[in-house]
Amino acid sequence: MNLIESVNPFNALVIGRVKESSIDEVHEAVIRAKKACSIWGGTGLEERISLLEPLIHKLEEHRGELAELLVTEVGRPILEAEGEVRGAMDNMRVHLVHAREYLADQTFLEDRGVTHTLRRVPWGVSAVISPFNVPLNISEWGIIPNLLCGNTVIYKPSEYTPLVGEYFSKLILELGLPPGTFHLLQGDGKVGERLIHEAVDFIWFTGSTSTGTHIFEVAGKRFISSLMELGGNNPTIICEDVEISDDLISNLIQGRFQNCGQVCSAIKRLYVHQSKYEELVAKLAHRAQALKVGDPANPSTEIGPLVSERQLLLLEEQVADAVAKGAGVACGGRRSADFPQGSYYLPTVLTGVHHGMRIMNEEVFGPVLPVMAFNDPAEAVELANDSLYGLAAEIYCNNEAIIDYFTGALQTGRVAVNMPRFAGLNCPMGGMKKSGKGRQHGKWVFEELTQIKHIMTRS
Ligand code: NAD
């Protein structure tokens, strides 16, 4: 029996162990989930809602334990961790409302006396494979809409957050759903790979572009449909007519350094007009180095550790590559000496960067912000679009014509204008290019997670 250790990235201590799911357990979960499809898929929406709704109260009841797990397993600062738990509850409320709105039959009459009904029906068994970075909230995004749609769910959390996955699953299993409706599997990519199984009908995946590309290829050959929410290398553009105000700096700091920079839609590349470059870099570096790096359990901490030593080593390589190719370090640029046991990296601002550096053309999951100058809007768009990714962008500009040009030309699933980006659940979220396939949230996730059936009856 293999065990997966959960390690606290603050002090490298093991905080728990879970059993890795075996090949037989994966197979058995798929078979049981398949058998349960007719029962769960056959229940009415109102019954599914009434079975799932108590989860909101359970999350509320256990919010302290969940937030603590996010602190000890992910290293999320406690105030952010509490926000993530509140987010999961709020999201569930919205999903329940949306389910009623978007899963209802649509009926219309046509000529020749025929009534047409369009019904959204479940795919069947849905595998939900989730990442480490926002493990509770993102798992809710996958599991709850799937269950509301009538899919049975096999959930595999990240191997870096098995305890959050286990706790959330325990609360779901306590709801008393019909047997076989929901399963938890634990393990790394090996176990995830086994879930691309002939008898699985749909894969809801959130994670890196490299993993998503692999799953998409294998699943495609087996005719398994999927929703892919993948990586981002998100540009932010600041034009010459923008004042480098405290508010702007706060938006940028929050946009890059929240969750220690481990957010898919975080600002990953910053482009600023040449005339504002020096002022912006100086103000950013000043604020970034004042961020309080510390124990994530302490409410005053703003920057905790990265989730693992592995992520820290990758980040070090990406920064070293930039520095070797001529980047300047305005602040940070190294591990924190104050927390030698933890996977800490200091908030970093890099200057003099270019697109030949990994820091600009790979997704960087850590507290590092590279800043590059541009001369005119066309160059800014060319730089922003020079990426495999297309998840999100922000622009700061006061000229309507240039704003129109940017919002039209940027190849990203979302563009925020003169404001920080946020994941509003009423609007579609997803990426262009290699940032994903399909959209979640709002009506879009319910369309993705169901198939449409056309029923004709004589009126
Ligand atoms: P990852 O791709 O390493 O792992 C994600 C999940 O896939 C994990 O559960 C992992 O065990 C599993 N997995 C790994 N190999 C697999 C395989 N061959 N078959 C099946 N499953 C496999 O990603 P991560 O490091 O956990 O998460 C960070 C990434 O997720 C970043 O790229 C981030 O941008 C992305 N992300 C995207 C969104 C979004 O909404 N677009 C949201 C959050 C995170």
Q: How far is the CA of 206 from the centre of ligand 1 (A)?
A: 5
Ligand 1 pocket test: which of 18, 206, 440 has the largest number of ligand atoms within 8 Å of its C-beta?
Answer: 206
Interval between CA 443 and ligand 1 midpoint (Å): 24
Contacts of 251 (CB under 8 A, 6+ apart): 394, 419, 420
Determine if ligand 1 sits within 6 Å of the CB of residue 224.
no
Q: Is residue 112 very low, low, confident or very high in pLDDT (cuts 50, 70, 90)?
A: confident
pLDDT confidence of residue 51:
98
The whole-number pLDDT of residue 422 equals 77
The 3-class secondary structure across the chain, one letter per residue, is CCEEEEECCCCCCEEEEEECCCHHHHHHHHHHHHHHHHHHHHCCHHHHHHHHCHHHHHHHHCHHHHHHHHHHHHCCCHHHHHHHHHHHHHHHHHHHHHHHHHCCCEEEECCCCEEEEEEEEECCEEEEECCCCCHHHHHHHHHHHHHHHCCEEEEECCCCCHHHHHHHHHHHHCCCCCCCCEEECCCCHHHHHHCCCCCCCEEEEECCHHHHHHHHHHHHHCCCEEEEECCCCEEEEECCCCCCCHHHHHHHHHHHHHHHHCCCCCEEEEEEEHHHHHHHHHHHHHHHHHCCECCCCCCCCCECCCCCHHHHHHHHHHHHHHHHCCCEEEECCCECCCCCCCCCECCEEEECCCCCCHHHHCCCCCCEEEEEEECCHHHHHHHHHCCCEECEEEEECCCHHHHHHHHHHCCCCEEEECCCCCCCCCCCECCEECCEECCECHHHHHHHCEEEEEEEEEC
Please, are residues 77 and 303 in contact by the beta-carbon 8 Å criterion? yes
> Which residues have a catalytic role annotated?
229
How far is 332 from 370, CA to CA, in rounded Å?
12
Q: What per-residue confidence (pLDDT) applies to 146?
A: 98
pTM of the entire predicted model:
0.97
Which pLDDT band holds residue 148 (cuts at 50, 70, 90)? Answer: very high
Cβ 281 under 6 angstroms from ligand 1: no
Is it the case that residue 28 has pLDDT exceeding 80?
A: yes
Q: Is 289 close to ligand 1, i.e. is its CB under 6 Å away?
A: no
ipTM over 0.90: yes
Give me the mean pLDDT over the 199-224 stretch.
Answer: 98
Nearest ligand 1 atom to alpha carbon 188: 11
Residue with CA at minimum distance from ligand 1 atom 39? 229
Q: Is the CB of 207 under 6 A from ligand 1?
A: yes
Record the tokens describing residue 444, joined without a space. Answer: 């879009």
Q: What is the pLDDT of residue 349?
A: 98
Regarding the beta carbon of 363 and ligand 1, being less than 6 Å apart is answered yes
> Does ligand 1 come within 6 angstroms of the Cβ of 295?
no
pLDDT tens-digit map of 76-105: 999 999 999 999 999 999 999 999 999 999
CA of 144 to the centre of ligand 1 (A): 19
Measured in Å, residue 131 CA sits from the centre of ligand 1 at 4
pLDDT of res. 424: 79
Query: CA 213 → CA 205, 209, 223, 386, 424, distances in Å?
Result: 10, 6, 15, 20, 26
- Mean of pLDDT values over 126-134: 98
For residue 419, is pLDDT > 80?
Answer: yes
Tokens representing 362 are 């790979």
Residue 285's contacts (CB-CB under 8 Å, 6 or more residues apart) are 330, 331, 349
Instruction: Kindly indicate the confidence band of residue 110, based on its pLDDT and cuts at 50, 70 and 90.
Output: confident
pLDDT over 90 percentage in the chain: 97
pLDDT of residue 29: 98
Residue 423 has pLDDT above 80, yes or no: no
Pairing of strands 414-417, 368-374: unpaired
Q: Give residue 157 CA to ligand 1 midpoint distance, Å.
A: 10
Residue 141 has pLDDT above 90, yes or no: yes
Give the per-residue pLDDT at 269: 98
How would residue 213 be classed by pLDDT, with cut points 50, 70 and 90? very high
Q: What is the pLDDT of residue 109?
A: 78
CA of 230 to the centre of ligand 1 (A): 7
For the chain, give the mean pLDDT: 97
Residue 129 Cβ < 6 Å to ligand 1: yes
Q: What is the pLDDT of residues 342-359, one digit of tens each?
A: 999 999 999 999 999 999
Residues 278-333: tens digit of each pLDDT = 999 999 999 999 999 999 999 999 999 999 999 999 999 999 999 999 999 999 99
Is the CB of 158 inside a 6 Å radius of any atom of ligand 1?
yes
Share of the chain above pLDDT 70, in %: 100
Q: What mean pLDDT comes out for the span 101-125? A: 92
User: Measured in angstroms, how far is the CA atom of residue 332 from the centroid of ligand 1?
Assistant: 27
In this prediction, residue 351 carries a pLDDT of 98
| CB of 193 shorter than 6 A to ligand 1 | yes
**pLDDT, tens digit, for every residue of 52-82?**
999 999 999 999 999 999 999 999 999 999 9
Q: What is the pLDDT of residue 1?
A: 83
Residue written as token pair 């959390």: 157
Q: In the predicted model, is pLDDT for residue 158 greater than 80?
A: yes
Identify the residue whose C-alpha is closest to ligand 1 atom 13.
189
Cα dihedral value 439, 440, 442, 446, nearest 10: 90
Is residue 441 scored above 80 in pLDDT? Answer: yes
pLDDT at 251 over 90: yes
- Ligand 1 in reach of 304 Cβ (< 6 A): no
Identify the pLDDT of residue 425: 87
